[in-house]
Structure 1
Amino acid sequence: MDQRTDRYVTFKNIDCDGRTRLVMARIEDYVATSDNPFWGYFRQQRELAHGRGLDDLRVLHNYLPTLREILEEIDDQETLEMLEDLERTCM
């Protein structure tokens, strides 16, 4: 029997907010310290999204391909795996 959670049926017992906070905390380190221009753009877009009432899960979802590419480029496998898990489980 398949024990995976069907995210389209329920998010019950899935801490999507907590997982999102963990991923975003790791990404915030790059926003604060990297000279890659994407991170400044990402910060601005996050602020705009929050102003529109969107949460960080939505922000991450909007930039998945770019985030994946950058995390692969800088070889941050741990954050990449966390992001992919978040995508599979909560998006």
Structure 2
Amino acid sequence: MQRPDRYVTFKNIDCEGMTRTVMDHVLRHVAAGDSPFWAYFEAQRTLAHGRGLDDLRVLHNFLPTLKELLEDLDDPETLALLEELERQCM
């Protein structure tokens, strides 16, 4: 019996564009300062960039926290974008 191929390719998926869109939405919350978490998030993002990591990795690292915050902030649009990014690119 042949096993199904579980490899998922990212070819023809604009993960970078999706990441930029999600990060733009997240950065609106950072700028609004509507949670003490955002200062920590920004500091960790800066550290990650210094280590050569991109925003997709940053979003992945904080995925559960971001989902919870976006629910608490009643931002279903950004939450949906983040979940789509998770499904397609993470």
Aligned-residue CA RMSD (Å): 1.5
Q: Quick check: 1:7–1:89 contact (8 Å CA) kept in 2?
A: no
Task: State percent identity of aligned pairs.
Answer: 70
Provide the TM-score with structure 1 as the length reference. Answer: 0.89
Q: Quick check: 1:31–1:40 contact (8 Å CA) kept in 2?
A: yes
Distance 2:56 2:77 in 1: 18
Q: How many residues align?
A: 86
Q: Which has the higher contact order (CA 8 A, sep 6+)?
A: 1
1:24 aligned partner: 23
Query: CA 1:81/1:55 → structure 2, altered by over 3 Å: closer, same or farther?
Result: same
Partner SS, residue 66 of structure 2: helix
Q: Quick check: 1:7–1:90 contact (8 Å CA) kept in 2?
A: no
Q: Which protein shows a greater Rg?
A: 2
Query: Where does structure 2 lack aligned partners over 5 or more consecutive residues?
Result: none
